[in-house]
Structure 1
Amino acid sequence: MTTTVALIGANGHGRWHRRRIAEIEQAGRVRLVGLADVRPLEPDPPVRDGVLIFEDHRELLAETSPDVVVICTPPHTHLPIALDAIAAGCDLLLEKPPVASLAAHHTLAASLGAAGRACQVGFQALGSQSWREFRDALPRLGKLDGITATASWQRDDVYYARSPWAGKRIVSGRPVIDGALVNPLAHAVMQTLASAQAVGAGRPRQLVAERYRVRPIEVEDTAFARITFDGGLSIVIAVTLAGEDFIAGEIAARGPGGRAVLEYPTDRLALPGDAEMRKVEGRADLLTNLVDHRENGTPLLVPLAVTADFTAVLEALTVPDVPPPHLLDDSAVVIEGPTRTIPGVNDLLRKVVSTMALPSEMGVPWAVPPFTKRLPVT
């Protein structure tokens, strides 16, 4: 029997899910029965005849009774929609970041367990063959000196005008989730945490972070974070949305046995002995994997439990008592129309991940002292 699927949050990034569902539907694995979005549906990609369209996700659930629901709404809305879908008897593909707090994580996990339902989280880079090769190579490097993540992207003023919650911490009295570390570059954080899990580092225990912004938004567009684990391993994340030359996203680990580097958005990989980065083909589709799990018991690639460490870090970055990101002044930022760039930031990102030191520890002129958070047991 074909698995029926509905998508809640069908505009924006939901359009990618619409295209992907259509591809899987053509292969005969699923049948799309409904789409929901609070805004009028964007016409591209076109909607097949027979697919029902709703503004209210609860009406969608009641009228289409889907087997699987893909949730691609603003992150701060995930939990209530997910609980409604579970109550309707659905399995979930939940976009990242999955929930806003560990309390929400535990609530969702308990609801899934009580209902006997499954939840796959949309960290799709964890479904790639390149990730599996990188992960499996880590023990061969010996005791790791550290694991790092680097990315340099550029997001202009239009990006921060894309929705009422973009760049915000609070909208209409409700906390929202945005910022380089927990939304656009959340994959970089998740990949480093998963790498630490793969080498048995234990749980993350301490976060030391510096966060910056180049425009008057409420969240960071540039961030540096060091996370220390039970076993003493540290990971360092250095990312920006105000970058110079593009760095897609690199996860690196080094030890006595050499260095391994994974460019997670492109599935390019270099392991000890490789002369240069090489493309590794093969990326499992998370929705297909969820269907396989329903039909055959295939293990989920990214079950909710795997994301608990990510949620602990997210919570530490977004709780009300965390200081707002430091607004850089004009001396540290170049403004060209809608684009803002931090001169020299790419060199700084590289230096941070090579030394495992944060900008304030290097004496960078515009850097401010970091904040430190103890991370709870997940």
Structure 2
Amino acid sequence: MTTTFAVVGIHGYGKQHLHQIGQLAAEGRARLVAVVDPRGTDGAAHVPPGTPAFGDLSELLAETVPDVVTFATPIHTHLPLAAQAMRAGAHVLLEKPTTASLPELRELIAVADETGKSVQVGFQSFGSHAFDRIAEITASGRIGEITGIGGIGLWRRARSYYDRSPWAGMRRLDGLEVVDGVVTNPLAHSIASALRIAGARRAEDVAEVVVDLFHANDIEADDTSAVRLRTTSGMPIALGLTLAAEEPHTTPRVFVHGTAGSIEFRYTSDVLIVRAGGGEKTEEVQRTSLFENLLDHLQHGIALLADVRDTGAFMRVLEAVRTAPDPAPIAAEHQEIVGEGPESYRVVRGVDDWCRKVSEELATFTELSAPWTAAPAAAHAPASAPQHTHGVRA
């Protein structure tokens, strides 16, 4: 059985969508019938020659309705475009974050229920077999009782990353919510993976969210942030994330802390490192492609790995970021600019170690008194309610 696909947004991450569909096409399971992008296909050598191209989704749907439409488009377009595709009769694969707000997520789920269409969300780490393996290890008692889950994301983004599109690094654009920060987009997989390990999938599985938002770059959104969570089961989670790292090539990691050891999950490479009993063991696990899983779901009824409904817990975090006060700027004395022009980048001094402390001590930058969190005396808020810290409690 061959499933037809169309890809909306081909000049960014949509390249990966086309690659995945190409692999499935080679197996006879998928067929690309169209691409959609207002910029056209100029310079898009990754689009197979002869593929019909449209300027917008309405043009495509007036011509044909594929079985699946995939979206690699700006965050604030996710809900309207996905809803349009489902109401026309297509299933959807939508890049993360799912939508630009928790109310929008609820609306998207309502459309999926109304139309009976499936929505897979592009949290690629959800395809990792590591989650089942972590569950096996923790159930065995090998690392003792779980005391919490931590995470570290140390990446770096140049000025060109924020210049690539009008919505990059923005919280709002033309009156619309965008919420494009380190927590909600580039290192969103860290948050989502930690929540999945903790068994939190739906919005109601999260009891508390505290976000600690800062930016070194000249942007609206956050690029250096800590997030502290508590699930309804009582599991504490905390992650330190930055796009202004000192050592930017470190693989993002999620840690399961136990009374007798720990598990380190490197979700970009599907590697587990188990430390227990005075020893260390590394395991590499497999991953199921979300595209392959979607086809198995449509053709054989297999459950979706990243069902839109199971992104509610992550969207509780996005909502906390969205409704928080604007991120606080990191003073020049705590950072440096390296290089010039579009490829120049910011580095926050000491940020790598502070992110590790967040992960280990399960507390935010402000709670740990990281140096850039101290506000000027005239604007200093009470310690119990820093201006840049925002908690959402169930």
The CA deviation at 1:46 is: 3.4
Q: Distance in 1 between matches of 2:201 and 2:221?
A: 32
* SS of residue matched to 2:246: strand
Residue 289, structure 1, aligned to residue 293, structure 2: yes
Amino acid at match of 2:97: P
Structure 1 residues 88, 199: closer, same or farther in 2, change over 3 A? closer
CA distance in 2, matches of 1:35, 1:277: 45
* Correspondence for 1:258 among 261, 275, 281: 261
In the alignment, does 2:378 pair up with 1:372? no
Report the Cα distance in structure 1 between the residues aligned to 2:228 and 2:366, rounded to whole angstroms.
13
Q: Map 1:187-198; keep pairs closer than 5 Å.
A: 187-197=189-199
Deviations 1:121-141 (A, max 9, x none): 110111012333124333334
TM normalised by structure 1 equals 0.93
Tell me how far apart the structure 2 counterparts of residues 62 and 277 of structure 1 sit (CA, whole Å). 55
In 1, Cα distance between the equivalents of 2:358 and 2:254?
13
Alignment of 1:184 onto 2:186: yes
Aligned residue in 2 for 1:306: 310
1:33 match: 33
Question: Which residue does the alignment assign to 1:359?
Answer: 365
Is the Cα–Cα contact under 8 Å of residues 155 and 339 in structure 1 kept in the other structure?
Answer: yes
Q: Distance in 2 between matches of 1:12 and 1:200?
A: 29
Once the two structures are TM-superposed, the CA of residue 173 in structure 1 deviates from its matched residue by: 1.8
Q: 1:24 to 1:260 in 2, by over 3 A?
A: same
User: Which residue is equivalent to 2:382?
Assistant: none
Corresponding position of 2:172: 170
- Deviations along 1:314-363, whole A, 9 cap, x unmatched? 011112xx211111121100111211101111111112211122222233
* SS state at 2:372 partner: coil
Distance 2:128 2:241 in 1: 22
Deviation at residue 313 of structure 1 after TM alignment: 1.2
The residue number in structure 2 matching 1:328 is 330
Cα deviation, residue 190, structure 1: 0.3
After superposition, the Cα gap between the structure-2 partners of 1:375 and 1:254, relative to the gap in structure 1 and judged at 3 Å, is: same
Residues 17-96 of structure 1: pairs in structure 2 closer than 5 A: 17-96=17-96
**For residues 312 and 200 of structure 1, do their structure 2 counterparts lie closer, same or farther at Cα, with a shift above 3 Å needed?**
closer
Q: Does 1:346 align with 2:364?
A: no
- SS at structure 1 position matched to 2:182: coil
Over the matched positions of the two proteins, sequence identity in percent amounts to 36
Gap runs ≥5 in structure 1: none
Please give the alpha-carbon distance, in whole angstroms, between the structure 2 residues aligned to 1:277 and 1:306.
31
* Compared CA separation, residues 254 and 201, structure 1 to 2 (3 A): farther
Distance change in 2, residues 1:282/1:265 (3 Å): same
After TM superposition, give the deviation of residue 257 of structure 1 in Å.
Answer: 4.1
Specify whether residues 39 and 201 from structure 1 end up closer, same or farther in structure 2 by C-alpha distance, changes over 3 A only: closer
| Distance (Å, rounded) in 2 between the aligned partners of 1:251 and 1:182 | 16
Return 5+ residue gaps in structure 2 as ranges. 375-385
| Cα pair 2:202 2:312 within 8 Å, conserved | no
Task: Indicate the residue corresponding to 2:111 in structure 1.
Answer: 111
> Contact (CA 8 Å) 2:187, 2:241: kept in 1 or not?
yes
Amino acid at match of 1:64: T
Alpha-carbon distance in structure 1 between the residues aligned to 2:214 and 2:24: 41
Greater Cα shift, 191-200 or 155-164 = 191-200
Rounded Cα–Cα distance in structure 1 between residues aligned with 2:203 and 2:57: 40
Q: Residue in 2 aligned with 1:217?
A: 219
**Which of the numbers 267, 270, 293 marks the counterpart of 2:273?**
270
Deviation at 1:276, TM superposition (A): 4.3
Match of 1:149 among 151, 154, 169: 151
Offset from partner CA, 1:175-194 (integer Å, 9 cap, x none): 21200000000000101111
Moved more, 57-66 or 148-157: 57-66
Query: Are the counterparts in 2 of residues 312 and 375 from structure 1 also a CA contact under 8 Å?
Result: no
SS of the counterpart of 1:243? coil
User: Which secondary structure state, in structure 2, belongs to the residue aligned with residue 242 of structure 1?
Assistant: coil
What is the number of residues matched between the two proteins?
A: 374
* Cα distance in structure 2, aligned partners of 1:42 and 1:22: 20
Whichever residue aligns with residue 192 of structure 1, its letter is A
Quick one: distance in 2 between partners of 1:375 and 1:324? 19
User: The residue matched to 2:22 in structure 1 has which SS?
Assistant: helix
1:168–1:198 CA distance, 2 compared to 1 (3 A): closer
Aligned twin of 2:379: none
The one-letter code sitting in structure 1 at the alignment partner of 2:225 is A
